[in-house]
Structure 1
């Protein structure tokens, strides 16, 4: 029998302490920005009824990327590919109790059956920010500012990322002005979304397949190539961006349409200027999502990003922090069986003093215990041998400095705390 594989499923990742340290760094950064902007944390189920997502996420996610299963009652279920439909359901459930506008953020696991590649996995942590209950431009610009702040906190600058903005409602108005039927809006937006991935001939063929005339095709290609007049529609939000001090990070781009079906107005994406080609984050306004659950209409705007793209971005801009996985700065050694109880009591005292402490587990030589501390980058080692036990003191060893001193335990606590 062949040995069992030690590898995780394709697109799923094991996270050892070093990877968890980086994930926690991302989470802490996002939570810090969320707190600065007054966002409250929430969460929803990892598994939802499949029907929750019908009409509330993209056709691509439903038909090609869904992780589906059935319960024992034969109900179709789905591992959440995103959380916005769950949020809309939750808001609709307590619409009479909540104080609007609400400012919510979430981080947690998402699942999409995509082709694993740089910046993309099948299981990933996603970070979502949403404001629901306000149709003000201030909600849009507030989220833009949050997005910029997160990327800046991770080391991004004007030279390394840009946030593109657009509006589906403005695009729809343009489509109407050139004579498109409403049933053509969506397929044309989908074609425009692919513009920067295909050459001119392929793009024109995509528009022709949408039923566009030669004149309509020319109007759209001209808009994408020369959007100066179109940009005037965004002067109000650009003025607000200036007040927020983020105007240099924002650019109007009519090619940004976003793929999720529930977006109705303002949309945006952040792109890296170096390295990663896929979006760093993206979102937009959704006006009909909460009402689809039978609640009163509530306009919402939100965006999401993920650990996979943020990790690649931080690597691309050479801003990976020096993260230590060792949580305990002190190792208490165990000299022998007769002194084990004293070592346990010493470790307990250090922990009561608020010092993170690891107690060595095995009856090994002192040399081996010191080697263990060195390999784990533990800076302080506290040694209690027979002589120290007799004199009621300890040996405190500073590993990086290769020095040590004999002192009473209370003094050792002070030295460690002040280091």
Structure 2
């Protein structure tokens, strides 16, 4: 069986995690989340999403150290629970993150050239796929550059907006109350899900039993701190209603702060950030497809690894083709909710798998309790999303389960 090359250390793994998370929440999710939960509710939802992400990250890190190969929860579910649990996790990840890729590509088009958003989105998918096909080392290098640029842009927004923050604007909870906070947390979870990219690259990480447990919480902690600062700034400058209505909230923060000349810089930064997300998303989905194809849960032809660049080139090309179709036919609305629903199910299976690892007495924090809280939290957030997202997400999962059952029946007949 073809093997991938172990090239990534802790800094590279952290950078890939940052590149996957930074952008989606800051530039896309804050507005819908504020509309669902209100001002103070947004901050509570962000803290809740961050806590559940921490639970998931802890479980994912333990599992990835035990099973250092590509595929993430697809592998963990198969090994610790049942092959069907692994398939459901892999299927949910692939369909959810493919929708995320399309949403990110369309966001790039909307920022760069609104009148030709779909064309720009297709070109972005082609360009990012070309980078990924050159090898994971190229992916990590490109992502490092993108993360540096994004952090600079976000610092400009924070410094520009901070003097104009009004504490009065941080109050207010939407009429939906707790339900609104849960809905917003489910949407905001979309912004944290990138740390899974570190686990799905497990077969390409050096010393995975040491690297992954360090890289995952470090990347998550940095991103959570950045999100909290920017959420306070955005709310404090714009207020609940204006933030909920803003198509480009961070650009609006700079404009309201009296520096309209920097708006173009923030828009450019948003494009760079989302490109970084798309870069890592496509790589992660491709590797999950590789793992599923190796076990014949997807066509075996997708299990090929390029002899020179050591990447799953057929899987990545297949993902890119599907994303381009979705970009041409769909739109960005609803994609975040759909993706959050299926990915929350993915992490629910990860936490259930971690519960089967047993206790670790040397740990100061009871990891079994963390896994249990993560499992319950993922399921609660999944069913708290907008109704259309819940129906679509669970409908696609059911369709995949039906296909699995049919294949299993045929094989055993």
By the TM > 0.5 criterion, same fold? no
Q: Which of the two has greater helix per residue?
A: 2
TM-score of the pair, normalised by structure 2: 0.22
Which of 1 and 2 has higher RCO (CA within 8 Å, sep 6+)? 2
TM-score of the pair, normalised by structure 1: 0.21
Bigger CA radius of gyration: 1
Q: Which of the two has greater strand per residue?
A: 1
